[in-house]
Chains A and B, each alone.
Chain A
């Protein structure tokens, strides 16, 4: 086995090309020892291109190798994409957040990856370049081929960055998880929402929960309940009910029963929407 620390994205692609399917890209590599090792590993963690965090023209661009810790700390992300900052702050432990990356969280394709759930709620798209030099841009939720299986072929494709519109005036986002312990824990359920309001009326809403399907899952029916609505206290119980009714979930001995997980999806959906809505309202009138 050989391990190469790439110096830039082009070199990384060149190594992949040369190795003819024998090499794979990694970044934080936190799950590396859980897997069978390929002949060659190409480390993207320190690349300039993949560690940038910037906003241009209302578009947030987050390098795929930005660590959870730096995303959680970033003032830009905290103000423009609170859900992502909150999600990144809850992953694993400080040690894991210091090496784990946002791109890795997506490419690993775990069904309840916190950052991925927030990214889907924010409407993020991944910019993926392959060894032929082709670039495709795909919604994060489209990158799941099955449980823990990504459509991204890490022997020929690289996620360069993730793109989404930053939360402008009248927009807010939030992330919440329900976990059995306050650190070092996988969530039983996590949920994220992005809401845009105008005069307290909801104009646009994205609600995502996991683990529901292999990919972070939009709850479209629940979203529809809130479209063009000025939410009053009576709406939240309905939202919770709708979210719980909308999902098919699985139970597991290690986490919780199917029935309880469904209940949690409802509860968290209500809470995270309410929070995102309140933030959107607070951000009306030019505040961001």
Chain B
């Protein structure tokens, strides 16, 4: 645990001087007054419900809506024929708001109802008659790539949603010349972010004035663009306003586009606000979990432990529609290659359409699940070389100044120190017998360019209000991870104000600057830097205006404006002076931060991100040899996320991310029976409870990154990356044999220990 003294030292080193500041919204949350999506109510509001396909794959032969429309209280019943929309998607446009002639998974949206209350909407749904002609379905991604497999989308022959063949360097020669080649196969099921609040939204359409969608999103501006395309609406006629968000973890970057589009359509058809929300079961069955993956991994090494090459053959499971699966597959297939100095790479990755729930992403974008495989193979290599796994990592790990095999330019990196510290904290040199120990390294990009390489930065607007307070307008969303508190600290530091004198606002696409949003660990680094620049612009404007007023040069230090003769000038005086002079304007600083030329070529080679965070985690576990049951005793998380802007919220990120890693490592994963999700409840999809979480010790190694605000780097996603490898390796150490399929259940460990086949 954090010693008190240690904590104090770190607080003192806290550069922005507001080590535990939190946004005032926290008081609304803790008193039960915060308004979430599920709490929204509007006058005249209708309730929307979706009729879903019971078949994994079927042709729709006919839909009869007449009985449903005749029910009193029903305001709209729509099927694909009643709406005029464009195909839409995040990476590829492979979805329609309602199934046109074919359904592709159990849960596919067929018709939608709006009624005066939930019960009436449910009755209307039950009154809709749909005639289906079942088609052969395919559930296994490997099978889906077979020539004979049923085809899901005309535009994607062979069910290939995305693929990649990549060679960097000369892997074939490296494998030929290697002293050792290790190889193993790993599998990871789909996982759900399992944010605690199911997605809910209210769409409010106004005649001639587009649609306002009230829903909590990590990237509201990106969603606004997709909705406007799908609905054929001008993008400035779609407005997204965010209530408080009950957790996101990547799952609410794009949220549930279907729900937003359908509620908008219903509102446009009825003229009333329409609320829609997913049940917990729907979250699992028609939400957007992260891709499942199968990976065969090979690594070539020299006898001294130098890694020569890595080769991977990957098949990821897309489900019926693509969401973010191609991007996640890409991160899955390559990010771990940059943790170590691996000169030669060969990757073949294919993403296959199957008749199952469509997939997207989860905190860390597949980097964490690949970490499990890559780091297991590192340990297997160490074992074969008779080398300490720590030593093997230290020998190969990436250093500041490196350009990695994929072209990432590493400007700051404390991975070596992270590994050493993780090892010393876990007691690597005094490992107890009867326990298993594992260590793992991770890298994660800060704001990678995967979404749009022409839009790599962020902007912000900072205003001086008449009362001397400051408002920050940003498109970067806060849902409890502390982004807004960090921005208040950053702006406060520039302007010499306390963070509580600054209000940060982000939740209205009409008002706040466009942003990529809370994804790819970009908010504090990139968004924060924009806030810093905007605050600096405001500072300049204040000084200039104050000089004009006082007729002599003015300085602004520690929040105090002073002219050359030493007179103090109040901020309110400057603000009001300007306000009167301009008949109502406020002093504004607008700032942008565009990271230095980062780009990539057609093979994706290049510096995709402004900065890279690093971490090493170590785990100590115990296995009940009789049952295979794992007890995780301790996890040490050592992070290089540059300077830590806010210690309290940073600690929260580490605790939470490590716990999610534990869940993914030991408990979670979709189970399918045919195409049906078998564990679609929080009883059967088990996330860790308070009794399941081990001791988590955390250390921050604070490097100085040249690009982040005050040298800081992202933290929110990398916290969940190395923990998978660390737990996997600790379990392998205790069991004496690697278990290569997530999650590491007691049964799989038991089977692996007894030499059974079930470890896969």
A contacts B directly (C-beta below 8 A): yes
A182 interfacial contact with B, CB 8 Å: yes
A10 interfacial contact with B, CB 8 Å: no
Which A residues lie within 8 Å of B343 (CB)?
A: none
Interface residues of B in 662-713 (CB under 8 A from A): 667, 671, 673, 678-679, 682-684, 686, 688-692
Closest CB-CB distance, B108 to chain A, in whole Å? 23
Which B residues lie within 8 Å of A257 (CB)?
A: 747, 758
Which B residues lie within 8 Å of A225 (CB)?
A: none
Interface residues of A in 167-186 (CB under 8 A from B): 178, 180-186
Which A residues lie within 8 Å of B682 (CB)?
A: 184
Which B residues lie within 8 Å of A253 (CB)?
A: 671, 673, 678
Closest CB-CB distance, B712 to chain A, in whole Å? 36
Instruction: Please tell me if the beta carbons of A182 and B692 are within 8 angstroms of each other in the complex.
Output: yes
Q: Which of B629, B686, B745, B746 contacts A185 (CB 8 A)?
A: B686
Closest CB-CB distance, A94 to chain B, in whole Å? 11
Measured in the bound complex, the distance between the Cα atoms of B691 and A171 in whole Å is: 31
Closest CB-CB distance, A37 to chain B, in whole Å? 14
Which A residues lie within 8 Å of B745 (CB)?
A: 180, 256
Which B residues lie within 8 Å of A178 (CB)?
A: 627, 629, 746
Instruction: Please tell me if the beta carbons of A182 and B691 are within 8 angstroms of each other in the complex.
Output: yes
Interface residues of A in 232-285 (CB under 8 A from B): 253-254, 256-257, 260, 263-264, 267
Q: Given that A181-B667, A182-B692 are contacting pairs, would A254 and B679 also be in contact in the complex, using a CB cutoff of 8 Å?
A: yes
Instruction: Please tell me if the beta carbons of B667 and A180 are within 8 angstroms of each other in the complex.
Output: yes
Interface size class of B (residues with CB under 8 A): 20 to 34
Interface hub of B627, B679, B686, B745 (most chain A Cβ within 10 A): B627
Q: Given that A254-B671, A260-B750, A267-B627 are contacting pairs, would A180 and B686 also be in contact in the complex, using a CB cutoff of 8 Å?
A: yes
Measured in the bound complex, the distance between the Cα atoms of B384 and A97 in whole Å is: 51
Measured in the bound complex, the distance between the Cα atoms of B693 and A183 in whole Å is: 11
Which B residues lie within 8 Å of A256 (CB)?
A: 745, 747
Closest CB-CB distance, A95 to chain B, in whole Å? 12
Measured in the bound complex, the distance between the Cα atoms of B693 and A182 in whole Å is: 10
Q: Given that A253-B678, A257-B758, A267-B627 are contacting pairs, would A181 and B689 also be in contact in the complex, using a CB cutoff of 8 Å?
A: yes
Measured in the bound complex, the distance between the Cα atoms of B671 and A185 in whole Å is: 17
Measured in the bound complex, the distance between the Cα atoms of B758 and A178 in whole Å is: 19
Closest CB-CB distance, B751 to chain A, in whole Å? 7
B626 interfacial contact with A, CB 8 Å: yes
Measured in the bound complex, the distance between the Cα atoms of B750 and A263 in whole Å is: 10
Instruction: Please tell me if the beta carbons of B629 and A183 are within 8 angstroms of each other in the complex.
Output: no
Instruction: Please tell me if the beta carbons of B627 and A186 are within 8 angstroms of each other in the complex.
Output: no
Closest CB-CB distance, B677 to chain A, in whole Å? 11
Measured in the bound complex, the distance between the Cα atoms of B626 and A267 in whole Å is: 7
Which A residues lie within 8 Å of B689 (CB)?
A: 181-184
Measured in the bound complex, the distance between the Cα atoms of B678 and A67 in whole Å is: 31
Q: Which of A181, A254, A260 contacts B692 (CB 8 A)?
A: A181
Measured in the bound complex, the distance between the Cα atoms of B631 and A180 in whole Å is: 11
Interface flags, A13-52, vs B, CB<8A=1, else 0: 0000000000000000000000000000000000000000
Which B residues lie within 8 Å of A184 (CB)?
A: 682-683, 686, 689
Measured in the bound complex, the distance between the Cα atoms of B750 and A182 in whole Å is: 19
Instruction: Please tell me if the beta carbons of A260 and B751 are within 8 angstroms of each other in the complex.
Output: yes
Closest CB-CB distance, A177 to chain B, in whole Å? 12
Which B residues lie within 8 Å of A186 (CB)?
A: 683
Interface hub of B673, B678, B692, B747 (most chain A Cβ within 10 A): B747
Measured in the bound complex, the distance between the Cα atoms of B626 and A264 in whole Å is: 9
Measured in the bound complex, the distance between the Cα atoms of B747 and A178 in whole Å is: 11
User: What count of chain A residues pass the 8 Å CB interface test?
Assistant: 16
Q: Which of B688, B750, B751 contacts A181 (CB 8 A)?
A: B688
Q: Name which residue of chain B comes closest to A182, CB basis.
A: B691
Which B residues lie within 8 Å of A260 (CB)?
A: 747, 750-751
Q: Name which residue of chain B comes closest to A264, CB basis.
A: B627
Interface SS majority for chain A: loop
Measured in the bound complex, the distance between the Cα atoms of B686 and A267 in whole Å is: 24
Interface flags, A121-133, vs B, CB<8A=1, else 0: 0000000000000
Q: Name which residue of chain A comes closest to B624, CB basis.
A: A267
Which A residues lie within 8 Å of B679 (CB)?
A: 254
Which A residues lie within 8 Å of B686 (CB)?
A: 180-181, 184-185
Which A residues lie within 8 Å of B627 (CB)?
A: 178, 263-264, 267
Which A residues lie within 8 Å of B671 (CB)?
A: 253-254
Which B residues lie within 8 Å of A180 (CB)?
A: 667, 686, 745-746
Instruction: Please tell me if the beta carbons of B690 and A183 are within 8 angstroms of each other in the complex.
Output: yes
Q: Given that A178-B629, A186-B683, A260-B751 are contacting pairs, would A254 and B746 also be in contact in the complex, using a CB cutoff of 8 Å?
A: no
Closest CB-CB distance, B668 to chain A, in whole Å? 10
Closest CB-CB distance, B719 to chain A, in whole Å? 22
Which A residues lie within 8 Å of B683 (CB)?
A: 184, 186
Q: Which of A182, A183, A254, A267 contacts B684 (CB 8 A)?
A: A254
Which A residues lie within 8 Å of B678 (CB)?
A: 253-254
Closest CB-CB distance, B392 to chain A, in whole Å? 33
Which A residues lie within 8 Å of B747 (CB)?
A: 256-257, 260
Q: Given that A254-B671, A267-B627 are contacting pairs, would A183 and B751 also be in contact in the complex, using a CB cutoff of 8 Å?
A: no
Which A residues lie within 8 Å of B690 (CB)?
A: 183
Measured in the bound complex, the distance between the Cα atoms of B624 and A264 in whole Å is: 12
Measured in the bound complex, the distance between the Cα atoms of B670 and A60 in whole Å is: 45
Which A residues lie within 8 Å of B750 (CB)?
A: 260, 263
Instruction: Please tell me if the beta carbons of B626 and A183 are within 8 angstroms of each other in the complex.
Output: no
Interface residues of B in 581-613 (CB under 8 A from A): none
Closest CB-CB distance, A125 to chain B, in whole Å? 31
Q: Name which residue of chain B comes closest to A271, CB basis.
A: B626
Q: Name which residue of chain A comes closest to B758, CB basis.
A: A257
Closest CB-CB distance, B665 to chain A, in whole Å? 13
Measured in the bound complex, the distance between the Cα atoms of B686 and A243 in whole Å is: 29
Measured in the bound complex, the distance between the Cα atoms of B750 and A180 in whole Å is: 14
Closest CB-CB distance, A91 to chain B, in whole Å? 13
Measured in the bound complex, the distance between the Cα atoms of B747 and A264 in whole Å is: 10
Measured in the bound complex, the distance between the Cα atoms of B746 and A180 in whole Å is: 8
Q: Which of B667, B691, B746 contacts A183 (CB 8 A)?
A: B691
Q: Name which residue of chain B comes closest to A189, CB basis.
A: B627
Measured in the bound complex, the distance between the Cα atoms of B667 and A256 in whole Å is: 13
Measured in the bound complex, the distance between the Cα atoms of B318 and A13 in whole Å is: 57
Which B residues lie within 8 Å of A183 (CB)?
A: 689-692
Interface flags, B732-760, vs A, CB<8A=1, else 0: 00000000000001110011000000100
Measured in the bound complex, the distance between the Cα atoms of B679 and A186 in whole Å is: 13
Measured in the bound complex, the distance between the Cα atoms of B692 and A185 in whole Å is: 12
Which B residues lie within 8 Å of A185 (CB)?
A: 686
Q: Name which residue of chain B comes closest to A184, CB basis.
A: B689
Closest CB-CB distance, A260 to chain B, in whole Å? 5
Measured in the bound complex, the distance between the Cα atoms of B84 and A213 in whole Å is: 56
Closest CB-CB distance, B257 to chain A, in whole Å? 30
Closest CB-CB distance, B428 to chain A, in whole Å? 27
Interface hub of A180, A257, A264, A267 (most chain B Cβ within 10 A): A180
Closest CB-CB distance, B727 to chain A, in whole Å? 15
Interface residues of B in 214-269 (CB under 8 A from A): none
Q: Name which residue of chain B comes closest to A268, CB basis.
A: B627
Which A residues lie within 8 Å of B688 (CB)?
A: 181
Q: Name which residue of chain A comes closest to B745, CB basis.
A: A180
Measured in the bound complex, the distance between the Cα atoms of B745 and A184 in whole Å is: 17
Closest CB-CB distance, B744 to chain A, in whole Å? 11
Measured in the bound complex, the distance between the Cα atoms of B745 and A152 in whole Å is: 37
Which A residues lie within 8 Å of B751 (CB)?
A: 260
Interface flags, A71-91, vs B, CB<8A=1, else 0: 000000000000000000000
Interface flags, A185-201, vs B, CB<8A=1, else 0: 11000000000000000
13 A-B pairs, CB-CB below 8 angstroms? Answer: A178-B746, A180-B686, A180-B745, A182-B689, A182-B692, A183-B690, A183-B691, A184-B682, A184-B689, A257-B747, A257-B758, A260-B747, A263-B750
What 13 additional pairs, Cβ within 8 angstroms, besides A185-B686, A267-B627?
Answer: A180-B667, A180-B745, A181-B686, A181-B688, A181-B692, A183-B690, A254-B671, A254-B678, A254-B679, A260-B747, A260-B750, A263-B750, A264-B627
- What are the 7 A-B residue pairs with the smallest beta carbon separation, nearest first? A182-B691, A183-B689, A260-B747, A181-B686, A267-B626, A256-B747, A183-B691
- A residues with a Cβ closer than 8 A to B are 178, 180-186, 253-254, 256-257, 260, 263-264, 267
